[in-house]
Structure 1
Amino acid sequence: MQISSPVSKTTLWIGRVMSALPALLVLLSSVMKLMKMAAVVEGFARTGVPERLIIPVGVIELACVIIYVIPQTAVLGAILMTGLLGGATITTLRIGDPTYPMPVVLGMLAWGGLFLRDTRLRELIPLRKM
């Protein structure tokens, strides 16, 4: 396996900021669901998802964020968030919601940020110069 060079401070901070954006947005989404805010209840009704699933989805989102922000489990967290965001993407596409790119962008930020801050991931997925 190729040994990657250490992450520079600039790259590390760019990765942290990129990682923080999806983590904070999914955390906000989770809190809104756990509080059963009116906008969430309306959104679930609009997408055809039963209201009884609001709290479980909020708990799943919260678990994904917690696992993602812990450095030792960040790769697992990114995998779990990818599944979560994939479900969000298909749900918004199914109803014709124009916000469908948002979960895709969040997933790209989550993985891009993790790639920039985690040398283990760089070793697994090396970028090659052309």
Structure 2
Amino acid sequence: MTVIAETLPASRPARWAGRILSGLVIVFLMFDGAIKLVPWPIVTETMDKMGYGSSEMLARSLGFITIVCTVLYAIPPTSVLGAILLTGYLGGAIASHVRIDSPLFTHTLFGLYLGLMVWGGLWLRDPNLRRLIPSRR
């Protein structure tokens, strides 16, 4: 017989771990979005190397999208929507790195690492998500 765990509210340490994990993602993505809004030369140079040209308008648009999705993720009532949108955004980043044959573990999979942190942090802090995706013991 399989016992489904985590249908009750998470333990206090689990909630805090989720908040810390989510907080790290939020800080990183807000910084990432902000440097694209400026945009710093390193941003446009990197976009050019990835085949998107050095368009400041595109950089600003991506920065705006990053910040909006991250803010949605940070606000509890819209956090699942934010996580879904960030998953799509990070998937596009992974696809871009695959296309230019970036190093696998450091560049290509970085979006996967962030995505796991997005959903892991949310799962630890949101009892509704734990009921939807329960852990099994």
Cα offset, 1:106, TM superposition: 0.2
Q: Quick one: distance in 2 between partners of 1:71 and 1:8?
A: 18
Q: Residue type matched to 1:126 in 2?
A: P
Structure 2 residue aligned with 1:118, among 126, 129, 132? 126
Normalised to the residue count of structure 1, the TM-score between the two structures is: 0.93
Tell me if 1:69 matches 2:69.
Answer: no
Residue type matched to 2:67 in 1?
A: L
Shift in Å at residue 3 of structure 1? 8.4
RMSD, matched Cα = 1.4
Map of 1:128 onto structure 2: 136
SS in 1 for 2:43: helix
List gaps (5 residues or longer) in structure 2.
none
Give, as a single letter, the amino acid of the residue that structure 2 aligns with 1:107: G
Which residue does the alignment assign to 1:81?
86
Q: 2:114 aligns with which of 97, 103, 106?
A: 106
2:45 to 42, 45, 54: 42
Give, as a single letter, the amino acid of the residue that structure 2 aligns with 1:125: I
- Please name the residue that 2:29 is paired with: 26
Aligned sequence identity (%): 39
Residue in structure 1 matched with residue 60 of structure 2 by the alignment:
55
Size of the aligned set, in residue pairs, is 128
Q: Distance in 1 between matches of 2:8 and 2:88?
A: 30
Detail structure 1 runs of 4+ shifted over 2 Å in the superposition. Answer: none
Structure 1 residues without counterparts, runs of 5 or longer: none
Conserved? CA contact 2:6–2:134, under 8 Å: no
Q: Which residue of 2 aligns with 1:13?
A: 16
TM-score (normalised: structure 2): 0.89
Q: Is the 8 A contact 2:73 2:82 kept in 1?
A: yes
